[in-house]
Structure 1
Amino acid sequence: MSLQSGVRRTLRQALVSTRQHLHHQTTPKQTSPTSSSPVRFFSSSPRTPLQDEEGTSGKEGQYARTDHTIQVSYPGPASTQLPPTDNLVKGIGHGGVPTLPTFSLQGKVGVVTGGARGLGLVMGRMFFFFSFFRSPLPHPHCLILTRKTEGMVVSGASLAIVDLNKEEATKQASLILETFKRDNPSSDQIPTITAHYADVSDPSSVQACIQEIISAHGKIDGLVTSAGFTENFEAVSYPFDRVRKLWGVNVDGTWLFATEVAKHLIERGAKGSMVFIGSMSGAIVNVPQPQAPYNAAKAAVRHMASSLAVEWAKYGVRVNVISPGYMLTALTQKILDDNPDLKEKWTSLIPQGKMGKPEDLMGPVTFLLSDASSYVTGADLRVDGGYTCT
């Protein structure tokens, strides 16, 4: 052993002895039965093994040490009684707050991008047909809402449909309002529904659209970013201008609307909720279709939601993602009509053995926009029939 190593060992032993002495001198006597355990320390870097007094690495995988000189006390037998549960159960049962009304969107103003067609159109209808529950409910087992249960709800929500095709958005706004009036003839709460143009990838267009919506409705409470599209190209032959366009709509569009709505909410000092429509493609690589830019874009949307959820939590603004699987929209149906083998390929990979319907997203979106999910933010809710589990 070298002189230097001997000095190091002597100093180390002296330090340990001093720590033990100080510990016994300063540790207070315990007044109640307790149990204690030694503290386990980890090295400053989980990738760097601890070194012994010789300065050489310890055994491979030895990244922690136990220090028996420091004890942490835990409640013993005298403290085994559980805390009272009065506060926990106070709201349950008679006199408590029913669960279903927390799913209400009554009095809210929602914005849906890409709302003139496909999944976005379904999201827009959801604002009406799932916004306020009658009390009492017609039957205690009516917990799963579908279009057939529209008679049991009355709307108080208002909606702004945003789309690149304003003519189609205006048409759908009228149809939704007509449907509401037909199915709720006695309702004294006629919602306001408006149609707006926006190129979601253009900052000035988005800003103008948001101001137009605020002027029409007075406020914004919720946002669903459904504008997006996908294309199938081999990566080496994908036209770059198409890649930029896809990214602009799917990613930039989500960012621009989210940040503009957040500014409005923060200035108002109001809470709000945003739901980004992502895709299971943001977490996996779908086969057999080649769509690398789309997969990357949806992965970006997913992580964007997590980042914004953390940043805006202090303002009471929640941000979540819904990642649909294969949904049988009109566009998807056309693709499958042209490629009949593709549907069989897709469904064979879905544990539920079927593709989803756009209506399957109504419940999840309602949950994430409503107060029922007030403690949920930064979540990625996959609605894919179990596809990504396999």
Structure 2
Amino acid sequence: MAKSMFNLAGRVALVTGAARGLGFAMARALGEFGARLALFDIDNASVQSAAKTLSNDGFEVLNLHGDVTNVSDVTKCIENVVNKYNSLDIVVNNAGIVYNAPAEEMSLKEWKQVIDVNLTGVFLVSQVAGRQMIKQKSGNIINIASMSGSIANFPQPQCAYNASKAGVILLTKSLASEWVQHNIRVNSISPGYMNTHLTAKGLQNPDYAQHWRTLTPMHRVGEPHELTGLVVFLASDASSYVTGSDILIDGGYTMR
């Protein structure tokens, strides 16, 4: 019984920012538990390569190129998923960017770009997917937030990123509250420091890397595969009574 609760066979999962890193790892994990996959990314060559890799490994996968901040791209993405699979059961909003700059020096353009991708993009994908899920009378949305939505990181200055992820956490709760009546669950995952392309520059900076590991009780950064069990849990019936929650996976960073 417990094992079958994690079965995603027949379900359709869309993952944004799926060409690499956390997005690719989560897409693979969902596929391993039976989900049919749709990968959405702004990097066309990379998302095609990611889809080819998963397809060669035996997964059913659709690759989609587009920008999560573009309403037309998002609408076409959802339409293509539904046209191919006839449903959309799971959405993982993972696309994100970061700029590290002191608040007094950050340009308005940089601020807006971070907010647009990290927060507005999550809203747009959720909105369009939510309309389909309301028609289906079921659905599951998982937003990738960050521990940066709950605490201010040190030593890197990243006020726009922190603000965007705090917004994702509250947006998650708001959507969960509105859509619970439609049998749609909405939750967020807040990773700590993970070994991905988004943190690559920081990990190459001795000062940043030392602080990150020292301030994390496990004294290391996380690996993408360490997030996959949680996303499968939230995507499956194993979490059928979970909605509006933000779950931290940060090596103990925020328990201090």
For the criterion TM > 0.5, the same-fold answer is: yes
1:192 aligns with 2:56: no
Q: 1:353-372 residue pairs with structure 2 within 5 A?
A: 353-372=219-238
Q: Runs of 4+ in structure 1 displaced over 2 angstroms?
A: 330-335
Q: 1:251-270 residue pairs with structure 2 within 5 A?
A: 251-269=119-137
Residue by residue over 1:10-34, the C-alpha shift from the partner in whole angstroms, topping out at 9 and shown as x without a partner, is xxxxxxxxxxxxxxxxxxxxxxxxx
C-alpha distance in structure 1 between counterparts of 2:56 and 2:164, whole Å: 36
Which residue pairs with 1:304 in the alignment?
Answer: 171
Aligned partner of residue 235 in structure 1, secondary structure: coil
- AA paired with 1:326? Y
- AA paired with 1:169? V
Quote how far apart the aligned CAs of 1:242 are: 1.2
Which residue pairs with 1:178 in the alignment?
Answer: 56
* Structure 2 segments unaligned to the other structure (5+ residues): none
Quote how far apart the aligned CAs of 1:246 are: 0.8
Question: Aligned match of 1:381 in 232, 247, 252?
Answer: 247
User: Looking at CA atoms only, which structure, 1 or 2, has the larger radius of gyration?
Assistant: 1
1:124 aligns with 2:2: no
Which residue pairs with 2:96 in the alignment?
Answer: 228
- Range that drifts further, 201-210 or 255-264: 201-210
Question: Aligned match of 1:106 in 9, 22, 45?
Answer: 9
- Contact residue 228 and residue 250 of structure 1 kept, 8 A: yes
Quote how far apart the aligned CAs of 1:331 are: 4.2
Quote how far apart the aligned CAs of 1:231 are: 0.8
Which residue pairs with 2:39 in the alignment?
Answer: 161
C-alpha distance in structure 2 between counterparts of 1:336 and 1:357, whole Å: 13
Identity %: 40
- AA paired with 1:278? A
Quote how far apart the aligned CAs of 1:213 are: 1.4
- Contact residue 98 and residue 198 of structure 2 kept, 8 A: no
- AA paired with 1:176? L
- Contact residue 116 and residue 165 of structure 1 kept, 8 A: yes
Question: Aligned match of 1:272 in 125, 139, 158?
Answer: 139
Aligned partner of residue 381 in structure 1, secondary structure: strand
Which structure would you say has the larger RCO, counting Cα contacts within 8 Å and 6 or more residues apart? Answer: 2
Aligned partner of residue 104 in structure 2, secondary structure: helix
- AA paired with 1:211? E
Quote how far apart the aligned CAs of 1:118 are: 1.4
C-alpha distance in structure 1 between counterparts of 2:101 and 2:64, whole Å: 32
Q: 1:321-340 residue pairs with structure 2 within 5 A?
A: 321-337=188-204, 339-340=205-206
- Contact residue 170 and residue 194 of structure 1 kept, 8 A: no
Quote how far apart the aligned CAs of 1:215 are: 1.2
- AA paired with 1:233? A
- Scaled by the length of structure 2, the TM-score of the pair is 0.97
Aligned length: 256
- Contact residue 225 and residue 275 of structure 1 kept, 8 A: yes
Quote how far apart the aligned CAs of 1:333 are: 3.3
* Structure 1 segments unaligned to the other structure (5+ residues): 1-97, 132-155, 182-190
Residue by residue over 1:192-227, the C-alpha shift from the partner in whole angstroms, topping out at 9 and shown as x without a partner, is 201001210111221111111111221110000000
C-alpha distance in structure 1 between counterparts of 2:18 and 2:82, whole Å: 17
- AA paired with 1:121? F
Which residue pairs with 1:247 in the alignment?
Answer: 115
Quote how far apart the aligned CAs of 1:329 are: 1.4
- AA paired with 1:221? D
C-alpha distance in structure 1 between counterparts of 2:141 and 2:215, whole Å: 30
In structure 2, do the counterparts of structure 1 residues 330 and 252 end up closer, same or farther at CA, with 3 Å as the change threshold? closer
Quote how far apart the aligned CAs of 1:334 are: 4.2
Cα RMSD after superposing both structures: 1.1
